[in-house]
Structure 1
Amino acid sequence: MGYDSAYKNSSVPNVPILRWVSRLSFLMDEQFRIPGTKYRFGLDPLLNLIPFAGDIVGFAVSGGLVLAMASKGLTSKIVVLMCINILLDTMIGAIPGVGQVWDFFFKSNTRNMRLMEEYYEQGKHRGSGKGTIVLALVILFLIFVVLVSILWVVAAWVISKF
């Protein structure tokens, strides 16, 4: 299954830049297939094998794809959701060991293409992205509080050993 059979029935408008976005998303997330399986992967997990530089290149390509999609009139809500996808992909993908496995399974570009198709096909993800941003910030704050609490407990335990 190549690009054409994967996206030929897509409802994404037949605009040259969006066709380019679809092709590049496919290349980054689904270009290759593991023989004997239906599992596909692209260049993104392969790039992630190169420490630091691979993460930066993957983030830059994904960010460029989001900018290209946003230039075609997507709402702020869908752009925020797409940015969350690429930030998750980049942040977790940067963790040594875990990140390499993560990149084979979390395909942010494919997810973003699906979001764009839902936007055009079903009218989903319309409106302001303010609520999504607030929710993301609250979640990040809670993660920060949990991490600081864990660090505090570990530091107290280490100090008690001296």
Structure 2
Amino acid sequence: MEDNRLKPYTPEPSASDGAASPLRFDFPTGNDPQSIRKRIEAMEMILERSFVLPGTNYRIGLDSIVGLIPVVGDIITAAMGSYLVWEARNLGVPKWKLWQMMGRIGFDSAVGSIPVVGDAFDLVYRSNTKNLKTVKKHLDKHHPQTRVIDQ
């Protein structure tokens, strides 16, 4: 059986200069619920909490950073957030929950597009975290074998 856990890529020195290649991760590519859970958790982490604001302990992600780019930034982060909805659809999440998830992304994008106020809003409103919580509830109910005990 194939092991679908996230594994860091261990760089090996190249034959030409002995330098190591950059750190990479092998993401699970299967269509099973466990692989999907890992992918959406990774996407949520990248979008919402992959960096720490300097001088604080507050975590932010690409949603807040890319959202600083007027118009284009909000379109990009909405597209990335829609990936979670697409994966939820593949898991069989009910349509009304998918609409709710898209509504969160739309609301985040609409308010996030307002200059200055929207950038501050992006720091506190985490639509992708809320969407991940919705998908996890569905997975825990319909695919209990994917349940992971958070530490």
The TM-score range, normalised by the shorter chain, is 0.5 to 0.7
* TM-score normalised over the length of structure 1: 0.62
Is the CA contact (8 Å cut-off) linking 2:33 and 2:139 kept in structure 1?
no
Structure 1 93/64 Cα, relative in aligned 2: closer, same or farther at 3 Å? Answer: same
Distance, in Å, in 2 between the alignment partners of 1:68 and 1:122 is: 16
Partner of 2:114: 95
Partner of 1:44: 63
Partner of 2:82: 63
Distance, in Å, in 2 between the alignment partners of 1:72 and 1:113 is: 13
Matched, 1:73 2:92: yes
Give 1:17 deviation, angstroms. Answer: 2.7
Q: What letter matches 1:23 in structure 2?
A: A
Unmatched runs of 5 consecutive residues or more in structure 1: 4-12, 124-162
The RMSD of aligned alpha carbons is 2.3
Identity of aligned residues (%): 29
Is the CA contact (8 Å cut-off) linking 1:28 and 1:109 kept in structure 2?
yes
Quick check: which one's helix share is greater? 1
Is the CA contact (8 Å cut-off) linking 2:48 and 2:61 kept in structure 1?
yes
Q: What letter matches 2:43 in structure 1?
A: L
* TM-score normalised over the length of structure 2: 0.67
Is the CA contact (8 Å cut-off) linking 1:28 and 1:44 kept in structure 2?
yes
Bigger RCO of structures 1 and 2 (CA < 8 A, at least 6 apart):
1
Unmatched runs of 5 consecutive residues or more in structure 2: 1-5, 7-31, 143-151
Is the CA contact (8 Å cut-off) linking 1:47 and 1:55 kept in structure 2?
yes
Q: Deviations over 1:42-96 (max 9, x none)?
A: 0111001111110110011111221122111111121111111101100000111
